[in-house]
Structure formats: structure tokens, C-alpha cells
Homo-oligomer: A and B are copies of this chain.
Amino acid sequence: QIRDAIAQRFNAGPLHGVRVVLTAGPTREAIDPVRYISNRSSGKMGYALAAALQALGANVTLLSGPTNLSTPAGVLRVDLESAEQLLEESLRAVAGAQMFVGAAAVADYRVDMPADEKIKKADATMSLTLSRNPDVIAAVRQRDAKLFVVGFAAETEKLAEHARAKLERKKLDMIAANWVGHGRAFDRDDNALSIFWNGGERELPQASKSELARQLASLIAERFLAARN
């Protein structure tokens, strides 16, 4: 109805001309020049979503941690490694953007003092002191209260509760949540998502990540246009 009307009006797609910044993939936090801490994100969901939003007419800038994926056609990609780099690039990229989608699996902690040379193994045990990384999506929201901000949550328990809490705490416009761990979601080609926003939710059942991305992109466009009007 609203969606159809708008799609008709904009033959080029409902997000025609909308500037979207999307983060994807894991980040890496250096321990030394060789070792790092990372996570099991493959970046597939984020890349598929970048392609799907681009297909709806958006101008997508993809801020990507290390992945082995090809850049979707028509998408501008910026490569980075750490959460601090991601924060810096995000704040730079959202100037003039209307939407931010935080699909990257940002490391929550970084190593306090990465070594300049490879640490030689010496002792039977070793202790790493980690510090909280900046909260990229919260910083982006704080920078621009009018931006339409979509977050992700990867949970191993209490999915809806954790996701709704994150939606409110970070003042997001939408959040897409999925189960992880024990072979679910990461490093796989399919997934399922629960989407929450203020006053609504939708379940996107198990499907390929590209199919899920198309459904999620539609829903994002719908909520974005509703929020705008």
C-alpha cells in the first residue's frame, strides 16, 4: 500500500537517492604484529544486505572488516581492521547520510597495549588485559539524532529480551537479532532473523542470507519511509 505507492512513484526503487552507511564483517584487535582477537562473523549477511539496499536504489558505502567476499556491484567499499578504525570511518561516512546499518560484529574489547614485535612464548601462562572498545553504533546515534539507525544483535540466550533492551538503550530505529554459537548463523549460508522496532516486530524464518537480506532490506525501507513521513 504505502510501500507500493512509493515504489511506483520512484521507479528507481524506494530508497532512490538515500545515502546508507553499512558496516559488515568482524573486526580484528591486534595482540602483536601476528596475533589478534576476532570473531566468527563471515560478513555474508552484511554484504548481502548492502547488495539488497543498493538494489532498492540506495547509495551504499560499505565499511568492511576482513572478509573474503567480493564487493557487491555498485557499492563503495572501505576496508578496515579494528573497532577504533571502524568508529573513525563510520563518523566520517555518516556526514550527509540518512541511514546507518551496523551489521559488523565489532569486537567489544581490544588489547590494552599491542606489542610492536611478535611476543615470544616464554611462560606457561600469559595474561591479556583488554579494554572496552568504543560503542560504534551508540557514537553514530549520538552524532546524528535524525539518522535512521539499524542495529544487529547476536545472542546465545534470551534473544528477544536482549535485542529489545539494546534497541531502547542505544535509541535504534530497528534491530535485527539472530542466534549464534554452536554452529548457528556464523560461517553459514543461511540464517533466521527476529526484527524489532518501537511498537512492532517481525520474524524472518530460516532462509539463505541473500533471501533474508532482501526481506530485511524491504522492511528497512518500509520503516525508513514511514519514519520520514
Of chain B, the residue at the smallest CB distance from A125 is B131
Q: Residues of B contacting A155 with CB < 8 Å?
A: 118
Q: Which residues of B contact A118 (CB under 8 A)?
A: 154-156, 180-181
CA distance A121 to B40 in the complex (A): 17
**Given contacts A33-B181, A34-B186, A68-B68, A125 and B121 within 8 Å (CB-CB):** no
Query: Quick check: A125 and B117 within 8 Å, CB to CB?
Result: no
Q: How far is the CB of A118 from chain B (nearest CB, A)?
A: 4
> Can you list, as one digit per residue, whether each of A16-58 has a CB less than 8 Å from chain B (1) or not (0)?
0000000000000001111111111000000000000000000
A-B contacts, 24 listed (Cβ < 8 Å): A31-B37, A33-B181, A33-B182, A34-B180, A35-B37, A35-B40, A36-B37, A37-B37, A68-B68, A108-B121, A109-B121, A109-B126, A112-B125, A117-B156, A117-B157, A118-B155, A118-B156, A123-B132, A124-B131, A125-B131, A125-B132, A126-B129, A126-B130, A127-B129
The 6 A-B pairs at the shortest CB distance, nearest first, are namely: A33-B181, A108-B121, A128-B128, A126-B130, A118-B156, A68-B68
